[in-house]
Amino acid sequence: MKIICSKSNLLIGVNTVSKAVPSKTTMTILECILIDTTKGEIKLTANDMELGIETIIEGEIIEKGIIALDAKILLEMVRKLPDNDVTITTDASYKAIITCEKAKFNIAGKAGEDFSALPQIDRSESISVSQFTLKEVIRQTIFSIADNFTNKILTGELFEIQNDILKIVSSDGLRISLRRIHLKNSYPAKKVIVPGKTLSEISKILLGDTEKEVNIFFTNKHILFEFDNTTVVSRLIEGDYLNIDNILSVDYETKVTVNKKEFQSCIDRSTLLVKEGDKKPIILNILDNVMELKMNSVIGSLNEEIDIAKTGKDLMIGFDPKFLIDALKVIENEQIELKLLNSKSPCFIKDEEENYTYLILPVTFNSVK
């Protein structure tokens, strides 16, 4: 095999697929990136058997071939090459010679035929969303997935299609993030659970172009994202997700309308009094036309008031300040609504159109003055 391509194209391709290279594996072939030119295009592939990424880069193919090269070595090597054309040549003994200007590397590779190909996905069921929309909706929900494996279901996000609505949900058991996307067409009902790792890696690859679309294909066991010259295939998480509709149908007795930026800034200030690792709630004392925010810790105390519009009962309730900030910083609305039932029931932050809903469970606290 012999190919010539620009350093920038090669680096983008290697960096893209390397996100599917496992950090630890007993299969050394999976630590590699496959370079395959047998079909007349320069295709790079990585696969950890749960997540697979392939991308096609521009370049000149002098001689067709296939080889697997160590991903970590290849990535660091390409990063440090001069900004010029790179030539990769291989021989029958799976040696690769990589040259750029006066730099010349000679590294050992592996037989490309030993590499695990990505699964073939039936492309009969698909939806399309803009790259910008998908990147945004991941950002607006990914923070509330579970980061441990005690409940594997919660390490992923629910993708649910109902007619022309795509609903994306994440939860770590203490909060729920929900976003609704309006699709251009109606589709048959579908529910799948996509691993959080897959979505996190996709959001890093997507440029967020409003004019370009991502085609998403579903099977019973896999989901495929196709955009630009890149394909991402991931196994789905098996099982049933939380019954979100029942959880989100709770009534409320207090509704608060507040300026989002002012509310977020106040909560952010309160975290100055919390040492890393400490769990100190911020107390919201909701009264007519004003909400008192209070924080007490070993460092000191905060007591601040912000103006609100309130309907319903007065209420004092406590929350983990980080949970509130996480939700508020991904909401674009200038004014937000909090809907609450009592001090032991969750708080709902949602818009009138219900394009987003954030549920946060309260925490217990000692009485404050």
Average pLDDT over residues 61-78: 97
Bridging pattern class, strands 222-227 and 309-312: unpaired
Residue 312: which region, alpha, beta or left (left: phi > 0; alpha: psi -120 to 50)?
Answer: left
Residue 367 has pLDDT above 80, yes or no: no
* Lowest mean per-residue pLDDT among 28-42, 79-93, 110-124, 318-332: 110-124
pLDDT tens for each residue of 87-114? 999 999 999 999 999 999 999 999 999 9
- Give the residue carrying structure tokens 């699709």: 183
pLDDT tier for residue 147 given thresholds of 50, 70 and 90: confident
Res 124: pLDDT: 85
Average pLDDT over residues 300-321: 96
Give CA 167 to chain center in angstroms: 15
Residue 26 has pLDDT above 90, yes or no: no
Dist. CA 234–CA 227, nearest whole Å: 15
Dist. CA 186–CA 184, nearest whole Å: 7
Phi, psi dihedrals of residue 280, rounded to the nearest 5°: -120, 125
Res 277: pLDDT: 74
Dist. CA 121–CA 224, nearest whole Å: 7
Average pLDDT over residues 111-126: 90
Domains in the chain (CATH in brackets) are 2-114 (3.10.150.10), 126-243 (3.10.150.10), 254-360 (3.10.150.10)
Half-sphere exposure of 68 (CA within 13 A, CB side): 18
Q: What is the mean pLDDT of the chain?
A: 94
Residue 158 has pLDDT above 90, yes or no: yes
Res 149: pLDDT: 73
Dist. CA 339–CA 36, nearest whole Å: 55
Determine the angle formed by the axes of helices 260-270 and 321-328, rounding to 10 degrees.
150
Alpha helices in 194-242 (DSSP H): 196-205
Average pLDDT over residues 73-99: 96
Bridging pattern class, strands 156-171 and 347-350: unpaired
Alpha helices in 26-142 (DSSP H): 71-79, 131-139
What percentage of the chain exceeds 90 in pLDDT?
Answer: 85
Contact residues for 231 (Cβ-Cβ < 8 A; gap 6+): 53, 54, 55, 118, 224, 225
Residue 166 has pLDDT above 60, yes or no: yes
Residue 368 has pLDDT above 60, yes or no: no
Residue 119 has pLDDT above 70, yes or no: yes
